Structure 1
Protein backbone atom coordinates (compact mmCIF):
# COMPACT_ATOMS: atom_id res chain seq x y z
CA UNK A 1 0.00 0.00 0.00
CA UNK A 2 1.41 3.27 -1.02
CA UNK A 3 1.73 6.19 1.36
CA UNK A 4 -0.09 9.23 0.19
CA UNK A 5 2.07 12.22 -0.15
CA UNK A 6 2.19 14.53 2.86
CA UNK A 7 1.01 17.92 2.12
CA UNK A 8 2.83 20.78 3.82
CA UNK A 9 0.77 22.28 6.67
CA UNK A 10 0.49 25.96 7.14
CA UNK A 11 1.52 26.18 10.82
CA UNK A 12 1.39 29.85 11.59
CA UNK A 13 -2.30 30.45 12.25
CA UNK A 14 -2.90 27.01 13.86
CA UNK A 15 -0.04 27.28 16.37
CA UNK A 16 -1.12 30.75 17.34
CA UNK A 17 -4.63 29.49 18.01
CA UNK A 18 -3.41 26.54 20.09
CA UNK A 19 -1.09 28.71 22.17
CA UNK A 20 -3.88 31.16 22.87
CA UNK A 21 -6.19 28.31 23.95
CA UNK A 22 -3.50 26.80 26.21
CA UNK A 23 -2.82 30.12 27.93
CA UNK A 24 -6.47 30.63 28.62
CA UNK A 25 -6.80 27.13 30.13
CA UNK A 26 -3.74 27.63 32.31
CA UNK A 27 -5.15 30.91 33.61
CA UNK A 28 -8.41 29.31 34.77
CA UNK A 29 -6.90 26.25 36.41
CA UNK A 30 -4.01 28.02 38.14
CA UNK A 31 -5.36 31.35 39.33
CA UNK A 32 -8.97 31.67 38.21
CA UNK A 33 -12.25 31.09 40.03
CA UNK A 34 -12.25 31.04 43.86
CA UNK A 35 -8.97 29.15 44.35
CA UNK A 36 -6.87 30.67 47.17
CA UNK A 37 -3.42 31.42 45.82
CA UNK A 38 -1.89 30.66 49.25
CA UNK A 39 -2.90 27.01 48.84
CA UNK A 40 -0.65 26.76 45.80
CA UNK A 41 2.57 28.01 47.40
CA UNK A 42 5.39 25.63 46.57
CA UNK A 43 3.50 23.72 43.81
CA UNK A 44 4.35 23.53 40.17
CA UNK A 45 2.24 25.91 38.04
CA UNK A 46 -1.27 24.50 37.80
CA UNK A 47 -0.50 21.41 39.96
CA UNK A 48 -2.40 22.22 43.17
CA UNK A 49 -5.30 23.62 41.22
CA UNK A 50 -5.75 20.23 39.55
CA UNK A 51 -6.40 18.70 43.00
CA UNK A 52 -9.57 19.04 44.98
CA UNK A 53 -9.26 22.01 47.33
CA UNK A 54 -10.98 20.13 50.15
CA UNK A 55 -8.28 17.46 50.00
CA UNK A 56 -5.61 20.14 50.22
CA UNK A 57 -7.24 21.57 53.31
CA UNK A 58 -7.41 18.09 54.83
CA UNK A 59 -3.71 17.61 54.17
CA UNK A 60 -2.98 20.89 55.94
CA UNK A 61 -4.97 19.74 58.97
CA UNK A 62 -2.98 16.49 59.03
CA UNK A 63 0.29 18.38 58.99
CA UNK A 64 1.13 17.69 55.35
CA UNK A 65 -0.07 20.94 53.84
CA UNK A 66 2.01 23.90 52.94
CA UNK A 67 -0.29 26.58 54.38
CA UNK A 68 0.81 28.69 57.38
CA UNK A 69 -0.39 27.36 60.74
CA UNK A 70 -1.60 29.56 63.61
CA UNK A 71 1.16 30.58 66.04
CA UNK A 72 1.37 28.42 69.17
CA UNK A 73 0.39 30.01 72.48
CA UNK A 74 3.47 30.82 74.53
CA UNK A 75 3.54 29.94 78.22
CA UNK A 76 4.53 32.82 80.47
CA UNK A 77 6.85 31.78 83.28
CA UNK A 78 5.34 33.27 86.42
CA UNK A 79 7.66 35.04 88.81
CA UNK A 80 8.07 33.66 92.33
CA UNK A 81 8.97 35.48 95.52
CA UNK A 82 12.75 35.23 95.16
CA UNK A 83 13.76 34.57 98.78
CA UNK A 84 11.41 31.62 99.30
CA UNK A 85 12.20 27.96 98.75
CA UNK A 86 9.83 25.30 97.38
CA UNK A 87 8.63 24.10 100.80
CA UNK A 88 7.68 27.62 101.88
CA UNK A 89 6.03 28.38 98.52
CA UNK A 90 3.95 25.23 98.88
CA UNK A 91 2.38 26.68 102.04
CA UNK A 92 1.06 29.73 100.16
CA UNK A 93 -2.56 29.34 99.11
CA UNK A 94 -3.28 29.86 95.40
CA UNK A 95 -6.02 32.24 96.58
CA UNK A 96 -3.47 34.60 98.18
CA UNK A 97 -2.59 37.61 96.01
CA UNK A 98 -0.86 39.75 98.65
CA UNK A 99 2.09 38.70 100.84
CA UNK A 100 4.03 40.47 103.58
CA UNK A 101 7.39 38.71 103.64
CA UNK A 102 9.34 39.08 106.91
CA UNK A 103 12.89 37.77 106.60
CA UNK A 104 14.97 37.45 109.75
CA UNK A 105 18.73 38.00 109.63
CA UNK A 106 19.37 34.57 111.13
CA UNK A 107 17.74 32.04 113.45
CA UNK A 108 18.72 33.80 116.68
CA UNK A 109 18.61 37.42 115.47
CA UNK A 110 15.99 39.99 116.46
CA UNK A 111 16.43 42.11 113.32
CA UNK A 112 14.58 41.47 110.08
CA UNK A 113 13.34 43.10 106.89
CA UNK A 114 9.92 43.33 105.27
CA UNK A 115 8.88 43.46 101.61
CA UNK A 116 5.28 43.47 100.40
CA UNK A 117 4.46 41.46 97.27
CA UNK A 118 1.38 41.12 95.09
CA UNK A 119 0.58 38.39 92.58
CA UNK A 120 -0.53 39.10 89.03
CA UNK A 121 -2.59 36.21 87.57
CA UNK A 122 -0.40 36.17 84.45
CA UNK A 123 3.09 37.30 85.45
CA UNK A 124 3.18 36.11 89.08
CA UNK A 125 4.60 37.77 92.19
CA UNK A 126 6.23 41.21 92.16
CA UNK A 127 7.33 43.59 94.92
CA UNK A 128 5.10 46.58 95.60
CA UNK A 129 7.26 48.09 98.35
CA UNK A 130 10.90 48.68 99.00
CA UNK A 131 12.72 46.95 101.87
CA UNK A 132 11.48 48.03 105.30
CA UNK A 133 13.53 47.52 108.49
CA UNK A 134 11.81 45.55 111.25
CA UNK A 135 12.29 43.80 114.58
CA UNK A 136 11.17 40.35 115.67
CA UNK A 137 11.46 38.44 118.95
CA UNK A 138 14.53 38.96 121.10
CA UNK A 139 15.68 35.32 120.75
CA UNK A 140 14.93 35.02 117.06
CA UNK A 141 12.73 32.42 115.38
CA UNK A 142 11.20 28.99 115.98
CA UNK A 143 9.08 26.49 114.07
CA UNK A 144 7.61 25.22 117.38
CA UNK A 145 6.51 28.34 119.20
CA UNK A 146 5.25 28.14 122.78
CA UNK A 147 4.24 30.68 125.38
CA UNK A 148 7.17 32.60 126.81
CA UNK A 149 9.93 31.26 124.53
CA UNK A 150 10.63 34.83 123.31
CA UNK A 151 10.84 33.64 119.69
CA UNK A 152 8.68 34.54 116.70
CA UNK A 153 6.82 31.68 114.98
CA UNK A 154 7.99 30.62 111.52
CA UNK A 155 5.30 30.04 108.93
CA UNK A 156 2.67 31.37 106.55
CA UNK A 157 -0.32 32.98 108.26
CA UNK A 158 -3.40 34.87 107.07
CA UNK A 159 -3.97 38.54 107.85
CA UNK A 160 -7.64 39.27 108.39
CA UNK A 161 -8.03 41.77 111.25
CA UNK A 162 -6.53 45.06 112.39
CA UNK A 163 -6.95 47.61 115.13
CA UNK A 164 -5.18 50.11 117.31
CA UNK A 165 -5.38 52.93 119.79
CA UNK A 166 -5.43 55.55 117.03
CA UNK A 167 -8.14 56.09 114.41
CA UNK A 168 -8.26 53.86 111.34
CA UNK A 169 -5.68 55.26 108.88
CA UNK A 170 -7.65 53.99 105.88
CA UNK A 171 -7.34 50.20 105.83
CA UNK A 172 -9.78 47.86 104.07
CA UNK A 173 -9.36 45.31 106.85
CA UNK A 174 -11.85 45.31 109.73
CA UNK A 175 -10.39 47.81 112.22
CA UNK A 176 -11.07 47.78 115.96
CA UNK A 177 -10.15 51.02 117.67
CA UNK A 178 -10.01 51.22 121.43
CA UNK A 179 -8.10 52.33 124.51
CA UNK A 180 -7.32 48.69 125.33
CA UNK A 181 -4.55 48.84 122.71
CA UNK A 182 -2.20 50.22 125.31
CA UNK A 183 1.46 49.31 125.72
CA UNK A 184 3.38 50.38 128.80
CA UNK A 185 6.71 49.77 130.46
CA UNK A 186 10.10 49.33 128.84
CA UNK A 187 11.49 47.02 126.20
CA UNK A 188 14.49 44.69 126.30
CA UNK A 189 16.86 47.56 125.58
CA UNK A 190 15.25 49.99 128.01
CA UNK A 191 13.20 51.72 125.31
CA UNK A 192 9.67 52.92 126.11
CA UNK A 193 6.89 50.70 124.74
CA UNK A 194 4.28 53.46 124.71
CA UNK A 195 2.59 53.80 121.31
CA UNK A 196 3.59 50.32 120.10
CA UNK A 197 -0.07 49.32 119.66
CA UNK A 198 -1.25 52.52 118.02
CA UNK A 199 -1.60 50.43 114.83
CA UNK A 200 -1.66 46.62 114.76
CA UNK A 201 -2.46 43.82 112.34
CA UNK A 202 -3.22 40.47 113.94
CA UNK A 203 -1.17 37.55 112.59
CA UNK A 204 -3.42 34.50 112.46
CA UNK A 205 -1.20 32.29 114.59
CA UNK A 206 -3.29 30.46 117.23
CA UNK A 207 -6.23 32.87 117.04
CA UNK A 208 -9.77 33.04 115.66
CA UNK A 209 -9.92 34.87 112.30
CA UNK A 210 -12.61 37.50 111.97
CA UNK A 211 -12.29 38.78 115.55
CA UNK A 212 -10.60 41.78 117.09
CA UNK A 213 -6.85 41.41 117.66
CA UNK A 214 -7.74 41.66 121.38
CA UNK A 215 -9.60 38.33 121.30
CA UNK A 216 -7.49 35.95 123.39
CA UNK A 217 -9.11 32.69 122.23
CA UNK A 218 -6.32 30.15 121.61
CA UNK A 219 -7.48 27.24 119.38
CA UNK A 220 -4.16 25.39 119.81
CA UNK A 221 -4.14 25.89 123.56
CA UNK A 222 -2.64 28.50 125.86
CA UNK A 223 0.75 26.82 125.91
CA UNK A 224 1.21 27.51 122.16
CA UNK A 225 1.19 31.24 122.79
CA UNK A 226 -0.62 33.88 120.77
CA UNK A 227 -1.12 37.60 120.46
CA UNK A 228 1.39 37.71 117.60
CA UNK A 229 0.95 41.00 115.79
CA UNK A 230 2.49 43.35 113.29
CA UNK A 231 2.71 46.59 115.25
CA UNK A 232 4.56 49.90 115.61
CA UNK A 233 8.28 49.54 116.27
CA UNK A 234 9.55 50.77 119.64
CA UNK A 235 13.23 50.61 118.73
CA UNK A 236 14.12 47.16 120.01
CA UNK A 237 13.27 43.43 119.99
CA UNK A 238 9.78 42.12 120.71
CA UNK A 239 8.45 39.19 122.71
CA UNK A 240 7.21 37.44 119.54
CA UNK A 241 5.66 40.06 117.28
CA UNK A 242 7.06 41.81 114.21
CA UNK A 243 7.38 45.60 114.49
CA UNK A 244 7.67 48.24 111.78
CA UNK A 245 8.29 52.00 111.86
CA UNK A 246 5.09 53.92 112.55
CA UNK A 247 4.71 55.37 109.06
CA UNK A 248 5.37 51.96 107.51
CA UNK A 249 2.58 50.45 109.63
CA UNK A 250 0.20 53.11 108.36
CA UNK A 251 1.33 52.42 104.79
CA UNK A 252 0.88 48.68 105.26
CA UNK A 253 -2.61 49.09 106.70
CA UNK A 254 -3.61 51.11 103.64
CA UNK A 255 -2.15 48.49 101.30
CA UNK A 256 -3.74 45.38 102.78
CA UNK A 257 -6.88 44.32 100.96
CA UNK A 258 -9.05 41.40 102.15
CA UNK A 259 -10.12 40.81 98.54
CA UNK A 260 -6.50 39.80 97.83
CA UNK A 261 -6.42 37.32 100.74
CA UNK A 262 -3.30 38.84 102.36
CA UNK A 263 -0.81 36.63 104.18
CA UNK A 264 2.40 37.06 106.12
CA UNK A 265 5.36 34.79 105.35
CA UNK A 266 7.78 35.03 108.26
CA UNK A 267 10.95 33.39 109.49
CA UNK A 268 14.71 33.54 109.33
CA UNK A 269 16.29 33.59 105.88
CA UNK A 270 17.57 30.01 106.01
CA UNK A 271 14.21 28.59 107.07
CA UNK A 272 12.28 30.49 104.40
CA UNK A 273 14.67 29.32 101.67
CA UNK A 274 13.77 25.65 102.26
Structure 2
Protein backbone atom coordinates (compact mmCIF):
# COMPACT_ATOMS: atom_id res chain seq x y z
CA UNK A 1 0.00 0.00 0.00
CA UNK A 2 1.11 3.54 -0.68
CA UNK A 3 1.20 6.09 2.09
CA UNK A 4 -0.57 8.42 -0.35
CA UNK A 5 -4.19 7.74 0.57
CA UNK A 6 -3.28 4.06 1.26
CA UNK A 7 -4.16 3.31 -2.35
CA UNK A 8 -3.38 -0.11 -3.82
CA UNK A 9 -0.43 -0.37 -6.20
CA UNK A 10 -1.17 -1.79 -9.66
CA UNK A 11 0.41 -5.02 -10.84
CA UNK A 12 3.79 -4.33 -12.48
CA UNK A 13 3.89 -3.50 -16.19
CA UNK A 14 5.70 -5.63 -18.74
CA UNK A 15 9.44 -4.92 -18.32
CA UNK A 16 11.06 -2.53 -20.76
CA UNK A 17 13.50 -3.94 -23.27
CA UNK A 18 16.07 -1.34 -22.19
CA UNK A 19 16.86 0.50 -18.97
CA UNK A 20 15.92 4.06 -18.07
CA UNK A 21 15.80 6.58 -15.20
CA UNK A 22 12.85 7.99 -13.24
CA UNK A 23 13.85 11.65 -13.34
CA UNK A 24 11.43 12.81 -10.63
CA UNK A 25 9.80 10.82 -7.85
CA UNK A 26 8.96 11.30 -4.16
CA UNK A 27 9.99 8.08 -2.45
CA UNK A 28 9.09 9.40 1.00
CA UNK A 29 5.54 10.17 -0.12
CA UNK A 30 5.38 6.68 -1.66
CA UNK A 31 5.57 5.30 1.86
CA UNK A 32 9.32 4.71 2.04
CA UNK A 33 10.66 5.43 5.50
CA UNK A 34 13.68 3.20 5.98
CA UNK A 35 16.63 2.04 3.91
CA UNK A 36 14.85 -1.30 3.48
CA UNK A 37 11.78 0.47 2.07
CA UNK A 38 13.91 2.37 -0.45
CA UNK A 39 15.69 -0.81 -1.49
CA UNK A 40 12.38 -2.62 -1.98
CA UNK A 41 10.94 0.21 -4.10
CA UNK A 42 14.06 0.32 -6.27
CA UNK A 43 14.07 -3.47 -6.59
CA UNK A 44 10.50 -3.30 -7.92
CA UNK A 45 11.57 -0.58 -10.36
CA UNK A 46 14.73 -2.37 -11.49
CA UNK A 47 12.71 -5.51 -12.24
CA UNK A 48 10.91 -3.63 -15.04
CA UNK A 49 13.91 -1.67 -16.36
CA UNK A 50 13.88 1.48 -14.19
CA UNK A 51 17.35 1.19 -12.71
CA UNK A 52 17.81 4.64 -11.14
CA UNK A 53 15.62 7.40 -9.71
CA UNK A 54 15.91 10.98 -8.51
CA UNK A 55 13.88 11.50 -5.34
CA UNK A 56 12.69 15.05 -4.89
CA UNK A 57 12.19 17.28 -1.85
CA UNK A 58 9.39 19.78 -1.40
CA UNK A 59 10.21 21.04 2.09
CA UNK A 60 13.12 21.00 4.52
CA UNK A 61 12.23 17.71 6.22
CA UNK A 62 11.79 16.06 2.83
CA UNK A 63 15.13 17.48 1.68
CA UNK A 64 16.93 15.98 4.66
CA UNK A 65 15.25 12.62 3.99
CA UNK A 66 15.99 12.67 0.24
CA UNK A 67 19.69 13.17 0.84
CA UNK A 68 19.69 10.34 3.39
CA UNK A 69 17.86 8.03 0.97
CA UNK A 70 20.40 8.78 -1.76
CA UNK A 71 23.13 7.56 0.57
CA UNK A 72 21.16 4.42 1.48
CA UNK A 73 20.93 3.10 -2.09
CA UNK A 74 23.31 3.91 -4.95
CA UNK A 75 20.42 3.70 -7.44
CA UNK A 76 18.84 6.77 -5.80
CA UNK A 77 19.87 10.40 -6.22
CA UNK A 78 18.36 13.49 -4.59
CA UNK A 79 17.13 16.97 -5.46
CA UNK A 80 16.52 19.58 -2.75
CA UNK A 81 14.50 22.80 -2.64
CA UNK A 82 11.46 24.40 -1.08
CA UNK A 83 8.31 23.81 -3.14
CA UNK A 84 6.56 27.06 -4.20
CA UNK A 85 3.52 26.19 -2.09
CA UNK A 86 5.80 26.09 1.00
CA UNK A 87 7.21 29.59 0.62
CA UNK A 88 4.73 31.77 2.51
CA UNK A 89 7.02 32.16 5.53
CA UNK A 90 10.48 30.85 4.71
CA UNK A 91 13.27 31.79 7.10
CA UNK A 92 16.88 32.60 6.30
CA UNK A 93 17.84 29.52 8.31
CA UNK A 94 15.71 27.28 6.08
CA UNK A 95 17.28 28.70 2.93
CA UNK A 96 20.72 28.21 4.49
CA UNK A 97 20.06 24.55 5.24
CA UNK A 98 18.74 23.90 1.73
CA UNK A 99 21.94 25.46 0.40
CA UNK A 100 24.06 23.23 2.64
CA UNK A 101 22.15 20.12 1.57
CA UNK A 102 22.51 21.10 -2.10
CA UNK A 103 26.26 20.73 -1.71
CA UNK A 104 26.00 17.01 -0.92
CA UNK A 105 27.55 14.91 -3.71
CA UNK A 106 24.40 12.74 -3.93
CA UNK A 107 22.28 15.83 -4.71
CA UNK A 108 22.04 16.15 -8.49
CA UNK A 109 19.58 19.06 -8.85
CA UNK A 110 18.04 22.06 -7.13
CA UNK A 111 14.34 21.34 -7.07
CA UNK A 112 11.55 21.30 -7.10
CA UNK A 113 11.15 25.06 -7.20
CA UNK A 114 9.12 27.39 -9.35
CA UNK A 115 5.58 28.77 -9.24
CA UNK A 116 2.19 27.24 -8.43
CA UNK A 117 -0.83 29.45 -9.02
CA UNK A 118 -3.31 26.58 -8.72
CA UNK A 119 -3.16 26.59 -4.92
CA UNK A 120 -3.21 29.71 -2.76
CA UNK A 121 -0.92 28.37 0.00
CA UNK A 122 1.71 31.03 -0.72
CA UNK A 123 1.36 34.53 -2.23
CA UNK A 124 2.77 34.89 -5.76
CA UNK A 125 5.35 37.46 -4.62
CA UNK A 126 6.74 35.05 -2.01
CA UNK A 127 6.86 32.23 -4.54
CA UNK A 128 8.68 34.44 -7.03
CA UNK A 129 11.19 35.60 -4.43
CA UNK A 130 11.97 31.97 -3.51
CA UNK A 131 12.16 30.95 -7.17
CA UNK A 132 14.75 33.65 -7.86
CA UNK A 133 16.78 32.47 -4.85
CA UNK A 134 16.75 28.88 -6.08
CA UNK A 135 17.78 29.99 -9.59
CA UNK A 136 20.80 31.67 -8.03
CA UNK A 137 21.54 28.58 -5.92
CA UNK A 138 21.53 26.38 -9.03
CA UNK A 139 24.00 28.72 -10.69
CA UNK A 140 26.29 28.81 -7.66
CA UNK A 141 26.28 25.03 -7.19
CA UNK A 142 26.48 24.26 -10.91
CA UNK A 143 23.53 21.87 -10.57
CA UNK A 144 20.41 21.67 -12.76
CA UNK A 145 17.34 23.67 -11.81
CA UNK A 146 14.20 21.50 -11.57
CA UNK A 147 11.06 23.56 -12.08
CA UNK A 148 7.53 23.04 -10.81
CA UNK A 149 5.23 25.10 -13.06
CA UNK A 150 1.50 24.89 -12.41
CA UNK A 151 -0.75 27.45 -14.12
CA UNK A 152 2.18 29.90 -14.13
CA UNK A 153 3.84 29.41 -17.51
CA UNK A 154 4.27 33.08 -18.43
CA UNK A 155 5.76 34.12 -15.07
CA UNK A 156 8.11 31.12 -14.91
CA UNK A 157 9.51 31.89 -18.36
CA UNK A 158 9.69 35.62 -17.59
CA UNK A 159 11.63 35.12 -14.35
CA UNK A 160 14.05 32.74 -16.05
CA UNK A 161 14.70 35.41 -18.66
CA UNK A 162 15.09 38.14 -16.05
CA UNK A 163 17.45 36.18 -13.81
CA UNK A 164 19.27 34.40 -16.61
CA UNK A 165 18.80 30.63 -16.46
CA UNK A 166 21.35 28.19 -15.07
CA UNK A 167 23.19 26.05 -17.58
CA UNK A 168 20.59 23.28 -17.24
CA UNK A 169 16.87 23.82 -16.65
CA UNK A 170 14.39 20.94 -16.31
CA UNK A 171 10.63 21.48 -16.46
CA UNK A 172 9.36 18.62 -14.31
CA UNK A 173 5.98 17.15 -15.29
CA UNK A 174 5.80 19.50 -18.26
CA UNK A 175 2.24 20.76 -18.59
CA UNK A 176 2.41 23.25 -21.44
CA UNK A 177 1.22 22.98 -25.02
CA UNK A 178 3.18 22.61 -28.26
CA UNK A 179 3.90 26.34 -28.51
CA UNK A 180 5.40 26.42 -25.03
CA UNK A 181 7.36 23.24 -25.73
CA UNK A 182 8.91 24.89 -28.79
CA UNK A 183 9.78 28.00 -26.78
CA UNK A 184 11.41 25.90 -24.05
CA UNK A 185 13.27 23.73 -26.54
CA UNK A 186 14.56 26.82 -28.36
CA UNK A 187 15.84 28.14 -25.01
CA UNK A 188 17.71 24.86 -24.43
CA UNK A 189 15.50 23.70 -21.57
CA UNK A 190 14.79 20.02 -20.85
CA UNK A 191 11.18 18.83 -20.60
CA UNK A 192 10.28 15.91 -18.34
CA UNK A 193 7.06 14.04 -19.10
CA UNK A 194 5.00 12.15 -16.51
CA UNK A 195 1.81 10.10 -16.43
CA UNK A 196 -0.52 12.83 -17.76
CA UNK A 197 0.94 12.32 -21.25
CA UNK A 198 -1.01 9.03 -21.26
CA UNK A 199 -4.32 10.57 -20.14
CA UNK A 200 -7.12 10.57 -22.70
CA UNK A 201 -7.80 14.30 -22.28
CA UNK A 202 -4.15 15.35 -22.82
CA UNK A 203 -3.95 15.86 -26.60
CA UNK A 204 -2.04 19.15 -26.25
CA UNK A 205 0.52 17.51 -23.98
CA UNK A 206 1.00 14.61 -26.38
CA UNK A 207 1.58 17.07 -29.20
CA UNK A 208 4.26 18.74 -27.07
CA UNK A 209 5.88 15.37 -26.28
CA UNK A 210 6.01 14.56 -29.97
CA UNK A 211 8.01 17.60 -31.01
CA UNK A 212 10.74 17.91 -28.34
CA UNK A 213 14.22 17.09 -29.70
CA UNK A 214 15.65 13.76 -28.60
CA UNK A 215 18.33 15.39 -26.44
CA UNK A 216 15.85 17.54 -24.49
CA UNK A 217 13.38 15.25 -22.79
CA UNK A 218 13.18 12.99 -19.75
CA UNK A 219 10.60 10.61 -18.28
CA UNK A 220 9.35 10.61 -14.71
CA UNK A 221 6.63 9.26 -12.45
CA UNK A 222 6.16 12.13 -9.95
CA UNK A 223 5.10 9.21 -7.73
CA UNK A 224 2.96 8.75 -5.75
CA UNK A 225 0.96 11.17 -7.89
CA UNK A 226 -0.16 11.07 -11.55
CA UNK A 227 -0.25 7.32 -12.09
CA UNK A 228 -0.32 6.69 -15.85
CA UNK A 229 -3.21 5.23 -17.80
CA UNK A 230 -4.61 2.57 -17.48
CA UNK A 231 -4.13 2.81 -13.70
CA UNK A 232 -4.99 6.46 -13.10
CA UNK A 233 -6.10 6.91 -9.50
CA UNK A 234 -4.06 3.99 -8.18
CA UNK A 235 -0.84 4.40 -6.20
CA UNK A 236 2.22 5.34 -8.28
CA UNK A 237 5.83 4.26 -7.82
CA UNK A 238 8.96 4.27 -10.00
CA UNK A 239 8.12 0.78 -11.28
CA UNK A 240 5.08 2.29 -13.04
CA UNK A 241 7.27 4.34 -15.40
CA UNK A 242 7.13 1.86 -18.34
CA UNK A 243 3.51 2.83 -19.03
CA UNK A 244 4.60 6.44 -19.56
CA UNK A 245 7.60 5.37 -21.65
CA UNK A 246 5.30 3.38 -23.92
CA UNK A 247 2.84 6.27 -24.17
CA UNK A 248 5.60 8.65 -25.26
CA UNK A 249 6.93 6.06 -27.71
CA UNK A 250 3.53 5.88 -29.39
CA UNK A 251 3.37 9.66 -29.73
CA UNK A 252 6.91 9.96 -31.10
CA UNK A 253 6.68 6.98 -33.46
CA UNK A 254 9.58 5.33 -31.63
CA UNK A 255 9.96 2.01 -29.89
CA UNK A 256 9.70 1.95 -26.11
CA UNK A 257 13.26 0.64 -26.05
CA UNK A 258 14.54 3.66 -27.93
CA UNK A 259 12.65 6.08 -25.66
CA UNK A 260 14.15 4.31 -22.64
CA UNK A 261 17.66 4.49 -24.08
CA UNK A 262 17.37 8.15 -25.10
CA UNK A 263 15.96 9.26 -21.77
CA UNK A 264 18.55 7.26 -19.84
CA UNK A 265 21.37 8.99 -21.76
CA UNK A 266 19.69 12.36 -21.20
CA UNK A 267 19.31 11.74 -17.45
CA UNK A 268 22.95 10.70 -17.19
CA UNK A 269 24.01 13.89 -18.95
CA UNK A 270 21.59 16.28 -17.23
CA UNK A 271 22.16 14.99 -13.69
CA UNK A 272 25.73 13.75 -14.06
CA UNK A 273 24.70 10.24 -13.01
CA UNK A 274 27.22 7.47 -12.68
- Whether these two folds match at TM > 0.5 is no
Looking at secondary structure, tell me which structure has more strand per residue.
Answer: 1
Higher radius of gyration, 1 or 2: 1
Q: How high is the TM-score relative to the length of structure 2?
A: 0.23
